[in-house]
Structure 1
Amino acid sequence: MAKYETLASQIKQQIERGIWQENEKLPSLRKQAQISGYSLMTVLNAYQLLESQGLISSRERSGFIVTAPTRPSSMNNVQAADAVSINDFVYEVVQASRDPHMFGLGFAYPDPTLYPRQQLNKSIGAAAQQISLTSAMDNFPPGNEELRKIIAKRYAARGMNISPDEIVITAGALEALNLSLQCCIRPGDWVVIESPVFYGAMQALERLGLKVITVAVTPENGLDIAALERAFQNYPVKACWLMSSFQNPIGYSLSDEKKQRIARLLETYDVALIEDDVYAELYASSAPPLPIKHFTTNGNSMLCSSFSKSLVAGYRIGWVAAGRHCMTIQKQQLMTTLATSAPIQMALVDYLKSRNYESHLNQLRKKLIIRKKAMAAFLKENLQNVATIHIDDGGYFLWIECQPQVDTIDIYREALRMHITIAPGKLFTLNNEFAHCFRLNASFELTDTRRALLSKLTRYIQKISV
Structure 2
Amino acid sequence: MKRYERFADEIAEMIRSGVLAPGEKVPSVRHASRTYGVSPSTVFQAYYLLEDRGLIQARARSGYFVREHVRSALAEPDQAAVLVDSTEVSVSELVFSVLASLKNPDTVPFGSAFPSPELFPLPRLARSMGQALRSLSPHAVIADMTSGNPALRRQIALRYSVSGVRLGAEELVITNGAMEALNLCLQCVTEPGDLVAIEAPAFYACLQVLERLKLKAVEIPVHPRDGMDLGVLSHSLERLPIKACWLMSNLQNPLGASLSPANKHALYALLKHHQVPLIEDDVYAELYCGARAPNPVKSLDDDGLVMHCGSFSKSLAPGYRVGWVAGGRYAEQISRLKLMTTISPSVPAQAAIADYLQHGGYDRHLRKLRHSLEMQQGAMLASAARHFPPGTKVSQPAGGYFLWCEFPERVNALQLFRMALEQGISIAPGPIFSATRRFANCVRLNYGSPWTQASEDAMAVLGHLLASF
Please state if 1:112 is matched with 2:117: yes
Equivalent of residue 195 in structure 1, options 188, 197, 200: 200
Question: What secondary structure sits across from 1:275 in the alignment?
Answer: strand
Amino acid at match of 2:167: I
Gaps of at least 5 residues in structure 1 are 1-33, 38-75
Contact 1:386 1:462 in 2 (8 A): no
Please state if 1:226 is matched with 2:231: yes
Deviations 1:249-301 (A, max 9, x none): 00011100001100001000010100000000001011001111212221011
Give the match for residue 374 of structure 2: 369
Question: What secondary structure sits across from 1:78 in the alignment?
Answer: coil
Equivalent of residue 289 in structure 1, options 289, 294, 298: 294
The 5 Å alignment of 1:199-210 reads: 199-210=204-215
Question: What secondary structure sits across from 1:439 in the alignment?
Answer: strand
Please state if 1:449 is matched with 2:433: no
How many pairs does the alignment contain? Answer: 394
Alpha-carbon distance in structure 1 between the residues aligned to 2:408 and 2:315: 34
Give the match for residue 433 of structure 1: 438
RMSD, matched Cα:
1.6
Alpha-carbon distance in structure 2 between the residues aligned to 1:298 and 1:452: 52
Contact 2:74 2:385 in 1 (8 A): no
Give the match for residue 353 of structure 2: 348
Please state if 1:400 is matched with 2:429: no
The 5 Å alignment of 1:18-417 reads: 36=75, 77-417=82-422
Contact 2:389 2:463 in 1 (8 A): no
Question: What secondary structure sits across from 2:146 in the alignment?
Answer: coil
Give the match for residue 17 of structure 1: none
User: CA 1:447 to 1:326, structure 2 compared with 1: closer, same or farther past 3 Å?
Assistant: same
Alpha-carbon distance in structure 2 between the residues aligned to 1:201 and 1:443: 21
Give the drift of 1:129: 1.8
Give the match for residue 16 of structure 1: none
Alpha-carbon distance in structure 2 between the residues aligned to 1:131 and 1:450: 43
Alpha-carbon distance in structure 2 between the residues aligned to 1:220 and 1:113: 29
Give the match for residue 63 of structure 2: none
Alpha-carbon distance in structure 1 between the residues aligned to 2:131 and 2:179: 27
Amino acid at match of 1:233: E
Alpha-carbon distance in structure 2 between the residues aligned to 1:285 and 1:185: 37
Give the match for residue 13 of structure 2: none
Give the TM-score of the pair, scaled to structure 2: 0.82
Contact 1:78 1:215 in 2 (8 A): yes
Contact 2:98 2:428 in 1 (8 A): yes
User: CA 1:36 to 1:334, structure 2 compared with 1: closer, same or farther past 3 Å?
Assistant: closer
Give the match for residue 17 of structure 2: none
Amino acid at match of 1:413: R
Question: What secondary structure sits across from 1:205 in the alignment?
Answer: helix
Question: What secondary structure sits across from 2:379 in the alignment?
Answer: helix
User: CA 1:119 to 1:430, structure 2 compared with 1: closer, same or farther past 3 Å?
Assistant: same
Identity %: 40
Question: What secondary structure sits across from 2:84 in the alignment?
Answer: strand
Contact 1:141 1:168 in 2 (8 A): no
Alpha-carbon distance in structure 2 between the residues aligned to 1:275 and 1:142: 22
Give the TM-score of the pair, scaled to structure 1: 0.82
Alpha-carbon distance in structure 2 between the residues aligned to 1:82 and 1:434: 16
Alpha-carbon distance in structure 1 between the residues aligned to 2:82 and 2:454: 41
Question: What secondary structure sits across from 2:145 in the alignment?
Answer: coil
Greater shift, 156-165 or 391-400, is seen at: 156-165
Greater shift, 219-228 or 281-290, is seen at: 219-228
Contact 2:108 2:455 in 1 (8 A): yes
Give the drift of 1:220: 4.5
Give the drift of 1:463: 2.4
Question: What secondary structure sits across from 1:352 in the alignment?
Answer: helix
Contact 1:232 1:269 in 2 (8 A): yes
Alpha-carbon distance in structure 1 between the residues aligned to 2:412 and 2:342: 39
Question: What secondary structure sits across from 2:319 in the alignment?
Answer: coil
Gaps of at least 5 residues in structure 2 are 1-72
Give the match for residue 9 of structure 1: none
Alpha-carbon distance in structure 2 between the residues aligned to 1:221 and 1:252: 6
Alpha-carbon distance in structure 2 between the residues aligned to 1:454 and 1:77: 32
Deviations 1:390-447 (A, max 9, x none): 1111111000000112111111001111111111001100124201000000122221
Question: What secondary structure sits across from 1:128 in the alignment?
Answer: helix
Ranges of 4+ aligned residues in structure 1 off by more than 6 Å: none
Amino acid at match of 2:408: Q
Contact 2:225 2:256 in 1 (8 A): no
Contact 1:166 1:323 in 2 (8 A): yes
Alpha-carbon distance in structure 1 between the residues aligned to 2:134 and 2:175: 23
Amino acid at match of 2:327: A
User: CA 1:36 to 1:152, structure 2 compared with 1: closer, same or farther past 3 Å?
Assistant: closer
Alpha-carbon distance in structure 1 between the residues aligned to 2:389 and 2:88: 39
